[in-house]
Structures are given as structure tokens and as C-alpha cells.
Amino acid sequence: MSHGIDVAGERLELHAERAIFWPAKRILFVADVHFGKGAVFRRAGIAVPSGDTDDDLARLDALIASLAPEQLVVLGDLVHGAPGRHSEWVERVRAWRAHHRGVRMRLIAGNHDRHMDARWLGFDVCPDRLAEPPFVLSHHPRADERGYVLAGHVHPGVVVRDGWRKHRLPAFVFDARVGMLPAFGTMTGLHEITSEAGRRIIAVTPAGLLTLSSP
């Protein structure tokens, strides 16, 4: 399920899988994948279920199959931490990357990406923000004079009330000069974002996308 939105004069498609597709350039954007986060937790003795990497790869497979992008751009934090001596998730990601060798994959390096050289996973790495007019691709959501910033890092989310029940949902957030993607990774938390004048918020619900505010 997708939702069209005009940003900086370009039409973008927001997808309930927590991704953005730019049809004019055939670029698929995701942010904060955090591959290997479950493995990092388990090494630390925290009991979390396995399978998060497989789930995230399956969601990326579905997006690539339906949208046929020429490029996949990860807006930071492709990985969560340094792999262990026997990190099976690394080989699964490498095999997945080889399966999609016809798609260019780029990483705008985030703060977690210092733990591993993503080139070993088959990604081109940009150590800093990258201009892709009219956008500037970044991990940190800071305004840039060169264009409209698309970023991650924050893991934006909103709280929606349904009678007495309260739901915490990932969300896309678009301000005047900066847009933030929800975290793509299965095992990621949320940072609650509040409504402000001129801010567009589109929440990701189990039933699809829900526009909560607009100009």
C-alpha cells in the first residue's frame, strides 16, 4: 500500500513497508535497517528472538520485486554493531546482495555504521551526506542549503488513541526543509514526534498508511 506526496517539486511514493520510492529516478529509500541488532543483543545475554534479519530481507525483497528500483539507498545505520566471530546474518545479507546484483546499493553512513565496513556487504559507502537534486541524502536530519533533506536516525513515531487504547506507530515526517523516514529494521524503537504547524505526518498502521496532519 502506498501514498503519494509532493516534496521539493518531486512526486514520492510512501510505502507501508516504511520505505520511499522516487519514481522519476527509480530510487528506493530506507533508513535505519540495523542488520544484526538481534545478534548483538543475544551476545550481550539479552533474550530476543532470532529471525529479524530474515524478516527485513524479505520485506526488501518484496519492495524490489514490486517497484523494480535501479538503486537502493540506505539513509544510515545499515548495521547495528560489529559482527561476532560466527555472525550468520552477515552471510545471509551477502547472499541477498548477490541475488540483487543488478540493483545499485548505496549507504549514507550513519553513526552505527562505524562498526563495520559496509563495502564488505556489497554496498557503495558515502561517508557524508550526498546531493541528489533536489534532495540531499543524509543520516542526520539537519537542514542543508543545497536542497531538501531526506534522512533517518530519529526513528520517528506517533501515538494514536483508539478509545481507551493507545498505539505507538512508526511515521514519516515532513517539515519545511527536512523529511524523516521511519526506521526500517524490525527491532527498532520509536521516538515520539509531535504535531507542529506545517508538519506533515503519515503514520504506518497494520492496515496501511494514515495521514495525521498536513499543511
| Positive/negative CA dihedral, 203, 206, 209, 211 | negative
User: What is the value of pTM for the model shown?
Assistant: 0.89
Higher pLDDT, 36 or 18: 18
The answer to whether 78 and 118 have CB atoms below 8 angstroms apart is yes
Q: Is 9 left (phi over 0), alpha (psi -120 to 50) or beta?
A: left
User: Looking at 16-164, which runs of residues are DSSP E strands?
Assistant: 19-22, 27-30, 71-74, 104-108, 124-126, 130-132, 135-137, 148-151, 156-162
Residue of 208, 212, 215 lying closest to 18 (CA atoms) = 208
Helices 88-99, 52-67: inter-axial angle, 10-degree rounding:
10
**Whether the predicted pLDDT of 70 surpasses 80:** yes
pLDDT-based confidence at residue 168 (cuts at 50, 70, 90):
confident
In this predicted structure, which of 58-67, 155-164, 175-184 has the lowest mean pLDDT? 155-164
Residue 71 cell numbers, joined: 538503486
| pLDDT for position 198 | 87
Report percent pLDDT > 70 for the chain.
85
- pLDDT tens for 144-164 read 999 999 999 999 999 887 777
Express each pLDDT in 190-206 by its tens digit.
Answer: 889 888 888 999 999 98
Q: What is the CATH number of domain 2-213?
A: 3.60.21
Contact 191, 155 (CB under 8 A): yes
